[in-house]
Structure 1
Amino acid sequence: MAASLTDSHEVVVIDVDSEKVDDLTYSLDILAVHGNGASLSTLQEAGIDRTDMLIASTDDDETNLVTCSTAKTVSDAFTIARVRNANFLETWNQSEGAFGVDFMVSTNLLTAEDIARVIGLPAAVNVDPFAGGLVQMAEFEIAAESDIVGQTVEETDKFEELTFAALVRNGEVIFPRGQTVIEADNRVIVIGRPESVQAFSRSVAPAKAREEVRDIVIIGGSDIGYHTAKLLEQRGFSPRLIEQDPERARELAEELPDTVVMQNDATDADFLIGEHIDQADAVVAATDSDEKNLLISLLAKNVGARRTVAVVEIGEYSGLFETVGVDVAINPREATAEEIVRFTQEGQIENLSLIEGRQAEVLEFEVNEESILAGRSIRESITELPAEVVIGAITRERDFVVPRGDTVIEPGDHVVLFVATDVLSDVMAVI
């Protein structure tokens, strides 16, 4: 969050870890303060009296709530709290201003939403909605057996309501041209109408992955596991959930009427085989342990599960998980950072998604009269924008508009852009 905000804001970071404070001081253009953010004296040292916004994002829910409440006693700062437990979010929604918090983000709920979106799209590793669901951004892993390996971007980009935004190759975001060849293990990022994104996903996924997702197994009755099951129930699925603790399993069985809850140790390969996990279309590892999620995912893959999705709390592990065979690694911290950064820029940016460690961003904004895009064709206006910008989609009065060279963007349109972070500040100054 600090890295995302420092270009356009004066940022102060408080942390109890002195080594982190030293690292931040030298790596980012911010002021880093060593101390406990829930302490009034530490907040005052950080300048809380002249702060416009305070974001409490430690790993402890209660500390975040106390920090916001304390800040409210001595300042008019707008307070944002990151919480894991969605019960706090439910309480806050029912009582405006509860806990001294102006805006609250539930990490577990956001993560569950990410999982539910990825499961529904074959080969996708990242999916985000824009423009109230009229537009979808999706990132796909291109397996060696995919039909599009060896094709050019021009050959692959044959969907009318879809924009080919970028490739990710060897961890780097590149802006391809029509003759750029797609290679195995590349990632393809597209933006478009959800139906077109779904069709594209079927064209890039290996044959086995194109089959409809029906059998979903969630392993771990954590808060994330519970909310994932609940979201899937709301979408018409009847998932299976495996929880080791008998009491927690009983609670889940009572709260999830359309989910089959089983009480067992999911690291038991014989149990997985006996429960036909080999036939599962998707297995979600959502325990409270990264190591256990990795083991469970590899076991599920080994017995024959079609696709595995693992929750990874430590962001640095995400790449490792996918390297050793996990299909999708979802980091709750990243999901939370996106939501909070989006909110801090509300008014200018309505939604955003961070790509590949913030090498690029997908952002949605409403075009005003002063925008360089207003009243001009895309072909004309794009010449005045950096090369690392792609106009991915346009919506006008809740209708999807296909962005082509002669499309004229009007004030009031919602535009979804794919932008390299290096040029983001220049782009935001003119759009």
Structure 2
Amino acid sequence: MYVIIVGAGEVGRSIAANLEDAHDVVIIDRDAEVIEELTYSLDVLTIHGDGTDLERLREAGLEQAGLVIACTDNDETNAVVCGAAKAATDVFTIARVRRRTLLETWQGSQGAFGVDFMVCTDLLTAQTIFRISGLPGAHDVDTFAGGLVRMAEFDIPVDSPIADRTVSEADYYDSLTFAALFRDDEMIVTRGDTVIRGGDRIVVIGSPDSINDFADEVTATPDDAEEVVIVGASEIGFQAAREFEEHGFRPRLIEQDHDRAREVAESLPNTMVMESDATNTQFLAREHVGEADVVVAALDSDEKNLLVSLLADRLGVDRTVAVIETVEYAELFETVGIDVAINPREETAEEIVRFTRTDHTEQVAMLEHDRAEVIEIEVGVDSVLVGRNIADATNDLPAGVVIGAISRGGEHITPRGSTAVQPGDHVIIFVDAAVLDEVVNLI
């Protein structure tokens, strides 16, 4: 596919890096220095200019493009880019926005702004915060097959019941597949004799009930996030509180700015909004923030979110979740004790990338900063899996692949060596990013 990306920030770069091997990619950006740097770091065509300019889009190859992705940091610019592209061609357009109100306007008027698909960064991030907060010990959680299948990534404590056991010994959960381990800088695709070590990060795929059972056993945190405190009424903080409200929670939200605190209090009837500085330890102690199950740091800077998370951890909070804008900080945050670091731009890139795959790819989840992916694919009649049991069929797949689950007619099937895949099945697969395109073509 010929893809034009407007905006070479973290989202644009992440998408381009994911697509460069299998697609023809052109990036447009106003920053000449950024364009020059990308020329040497990625195998893409770069153009210095304004993506809202139709002539610049034509220079980028608009007439032959199958997809235009507008992912600058300005919502209005992204809408204009899509409108300009749509006015000249019938190309599929994707716009990244931060404001949920713009998303709701687009949803209420099909085809508005010339946008075929709109991705709301803040809403995606809030939804991720909710999913992860509800599963003890999880670093990443995604759902597949309409909620029938779940993927989750957990740290294994040294005193976990499955530490120092082989996958075969630990595999006593219903409807669960052990997909991979991340150990230091190494990625290990699991086999029956793979030994799980304390300190490993493990990826499991299975039914929601089995994932919950696994989480309860391997982690020492409470079963549910009943007491939730959100620090910062940023748009992400506001949307996260709204997400918790919609699922029956009554979160507390701390916001220092008087006008913003009053505004969100009026919009969130089931959220207790407290006007205070969240770095005030006396306030935190007085309000018993240390007794919370989860504290979400959603302030306007990475440094503030790190500070608040460390304070919450020191007070005894069971779990800390911090929003980070700089993806390079994610590993640092988790190294110093933050339980989960969520990068809004990574969440956005993940959502957009699935539109660039084959028509059969239904869902995509990126792991460990795109070292691997879990994907959902509808199996066609020509798939290498069809008509054979999995043990035989996987011999024709490259190393680095695990079939984690199968959805057939609304039924969850746990794949085993003797399981046969049928046309129309949805398979959920863990894939090493290095062989992703080959695997998608074969399946």
Which range, TM-score by smaller chain? over 0.9
Alignment of 1:11-410 (within 5 A): 11-206=25-220, 209-345=221-357, 347-410=359-422
CA distance in 2, matches of 1:144, 1:32: 47
CA contact (8 A) 2:135 2:223 kept: no
Given that 1:14 and 1:37 are in contact with CA atoms closer than 8 Å, whether structure 2 keeps it comes out as yes
**CA distance in 2: counterparts of 1:351 and 1:329, whole angstroms:** 22
Q: Secondary structure of 1:320's partner?
A: helix
CA distance in 1, matches of 2:306, 2:53: 37
Would you say the 8 A contact 1:218–1:285 is kept in 2?
yes
Work out the CA distance in 2 between the residues paired with 1:375 and 1:51. 36
Q: TM-score, normalized by length of structure 2? A: 0.94
2:354–2:364 contact (8 Å) kept in structure 1 = yes
Match of 2:437 among 391, 413, 425: 425
Separation in 1, partners of 2:342, 2:384 = 36
2:305 & 2:334 partners in 1: Cα distance? 12
- Paired residues, number: 429
**Structure 1 letter corresponding to 2:302:** D
**Structure 2 CA distance for aligned equivalents of residues 382 and 52 of structure 1:** 32
Gaps of 5+ in 1: none
User: TM-score, with normalisation over the residues of structure 1?
Assistant: 0.96
Stretch moving more, 408-417 or 122-131: 408-417
Distance in 2 of aligned mates of 1:176 and 1:403: 14
Question: Using the alignment, how far apart are the partners of 1:388 and 1:254 within structure 2?
Answer: 50
Aligned alpha-carbon RMSD (Å)? 1.4
Displacement of 1:50: 2.5
Tell me which amino acid in the other structure corresponds to 1:286. Answer: A
Q: Deviations over 1:55-84 (max 9, x none)?
A: 010111122112222223333322110001
* Residues 358-404 of structure 1, C-alpha deviations (whole Å, 9 max, x = no match): 11111101112111111211112111112211000001100111111
Amino acid at match of 1:344: T
Residue type matched to 1:261 in 2?
Answer: V
Instruction: Describe the superposition over 1:116-149 as per-residue Cα deviations: whole angstroms up to 9, x where unpaired.
Output: 0000111100000000000000000123343333
Contact 1:173 1:356 survives alignment (8 Å): no
- Secondary structure at 1:350 match in 2: strand
Check the 8 A contact 2:63/2:89 in 1, yes or no: yes
CA separation of 1:254/1:376 partners in 2, compared to 1, >3 Å: closer, same or farther? same
Take 1:313 and 1:131, find their aligned partners in 2: how far apart are those partners?
30
User: Matches of 1:250 and 1:31 in 2, distance apart?
Assistant: 48
SS in structure 2 opposite 1:299? helix
Question: Which residue is equivalent to 2:8?
Answer: none
1:62 is paired with a residue whose SS is helix
Q: How many angstroms apart in 2 are the aligned matches of 1:367 and 1:49?
A: 32
Q: Residue 228 of structure 1: CA displacement? A: 1.0
What's the secondary structure of 1:404's corresponding residue?
Answer: coil
